[in-house]
């Protein structure tokens, strides 16, 4: 795998947070800021980094409460506005004035918040299977599994559990694919068990909110107008509807491309042929306009 260095930064409220820094972009091109989904971490972007590192610099943070980043003392800080503050501090510490944000699910929500508050930081953006409206079916599925502890005796057991729970999301996956995913989602604990690599308390704000409607995010779409933007949607997604994705593209205008990944639910892993081609088009637009 392409090499990376481990870096650390401090959140505004004093948590030591971790990121992977893949070298690249020596010609001055903006780094790729890779923001993972709710229960995922920096390892989620290994396939993307294997393809792009060297040519592009990739900065892949573990959000608070995930993987090698510290767990929060207050579970109610596991919310997008706090993640935005954490990422703002990271970009400041690394002296990154502009980047291409690649946001999967929750990472896409953080990307939308960056666009709304610091549009000038973005040279381009990828919103991976997320938008201003999230379908209740997908939200209910997420509420059903997030924060539910799991423990497995072997990596194969963990992979088979993932396959059983997510067969409809990645129907083409073979055992080796589920094993690779397990290595990204789980860790080996001190007792020799395979456990999920995040703080179970990240579920608390989600449960506290229930199905309450949040802030109207549609106006944020206009912040992406004129900016190279890729809207990626899994054809089987239960979180981002086709109608929402089409409206997002319409709201943003000509600078948006909508690409659909066949036979994938929530969310594409960014290594599918449709994803690879669309990401290459996005990065070409970032470089050449």
- The helix/strand/coil state of 67 is coil
Q: What rounded mean pLDDT belongs to the chain? A: 95
pLDDT range class, residue 234, cuts 50, 70, 90 = very high
pLDDT range class, residue 209, cuts 50, 70, 90 = confident
| Digit-coded pLDDT (tens) for 155-190 | 999 999 999 999 999 999 999 999 999 999 999 999
Count Cα neighbours of 104 within 13 Å in the Cβ-side half-sphere.
28
Instruction: Say yes or no to pLDDT of 210 above 70.
Output: no
Provide the token pair at 220.
């944020």
pLDDT range class, residue 289, cuts 50, 70, 90 = confident
> Which pLDDT does position 213 carry in this prediction?
56
> Which pLDDT does position 1 carry in this prediction?
46
CA-derived radius of gyration, the chain: 18
> Which pLDDT does position 77 carry in this prediction?
98
Write the CATH number of the domain with boundaries 4-137+218-288: 3.40.50.1820
Provide the token pair at 109.
């929500």
Average pLDDT on 208-235 reads 88
Alpha-carbon span 282 to 289, nearest angstrom: 10
| 30-44 core/surface letters (b: 16 or more CB in 10 A; e: else) | bbbbbbbbbbbbbbb
Q: How many CB atoms lie within 10 A of CB 254?
A: 8
Instruction: Say yes or no to pLDDT of 285 above 90.
Output: yes
| Digit-coded pLDDT (tens) for 36-51 | 999 999 999 999 999 9
> Which pLDDT does position 211 carry in this prediction?
55
Residue 54 sits at φ, ψ, to 5 deg, of 100, -55
Instruction: Say yes or no to pLDDT of 225 above 80.
Output: yes
The residue whose two tokens read 């559990």 is 161
Provide the token pair at 84.
């935005």
Residue 93 sits at φ, ψ, to 5 deg, of -65, -35
Average pLDDT on 201-205 reads 95
């Amino acid at each position: 795998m392409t090499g990376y260095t481990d870096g650390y930064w401090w959140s505004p409220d004093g948590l030591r947070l971790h990121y992977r820094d893949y070298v690249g972009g020596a010609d001055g091109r903006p780094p790729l800021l890779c923001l993972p989904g709710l229960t995922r971490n920096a390892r989620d972007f290994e396939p993307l980094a294997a393809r792009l590192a060297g040519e592009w610099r990739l900065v892949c943070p573990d959000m608070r409460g995930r993987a090698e980043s510290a767990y929060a003392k207050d579970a109610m800080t596991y919310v997008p506005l706090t993640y935005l503050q954490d990422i703002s501090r990271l970009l400041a510490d690394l002296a990154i004035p502009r980047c291409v944000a690649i946001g999967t699910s929750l990472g896409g929500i953080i990307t939308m918040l960056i666009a709304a508050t610091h549009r000038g930081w973005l040279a381009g953006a990828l919103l991976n299977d997320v938008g201003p409206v999230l379908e209740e079916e997908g939200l209910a599925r997420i509420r059903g599994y997030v924060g539910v502890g799991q423990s497995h005796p072997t990596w194969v057991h963990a992979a088979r559990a993932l396959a059983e729970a997510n067969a409809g999301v990645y129907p083409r996956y073979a055992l080796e694919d589920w094993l690779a995913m397990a290595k990204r989602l789980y860790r080996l604990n001190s007792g020799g068990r395979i456990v999920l690599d995040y703080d179970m308390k990240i579920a608390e704000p989600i449960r506290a909110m229930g199905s309450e409607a949040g802030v109207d995010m549609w106006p944020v779409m206009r912040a992406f107008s004129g900016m190279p933007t890729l809207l990626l949607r899994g054809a089987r997604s239960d979180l981002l509807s086709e109608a929402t994705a089409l409206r997002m593209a319409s709201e943003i205008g000509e600078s948006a491309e909508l690409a659909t990944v066949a036979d994938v639910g929530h969310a594409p892993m960014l290594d599918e042929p449709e994803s690879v081609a669309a990401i290459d088009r996005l990065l070409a637009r970032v470089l050449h306009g």
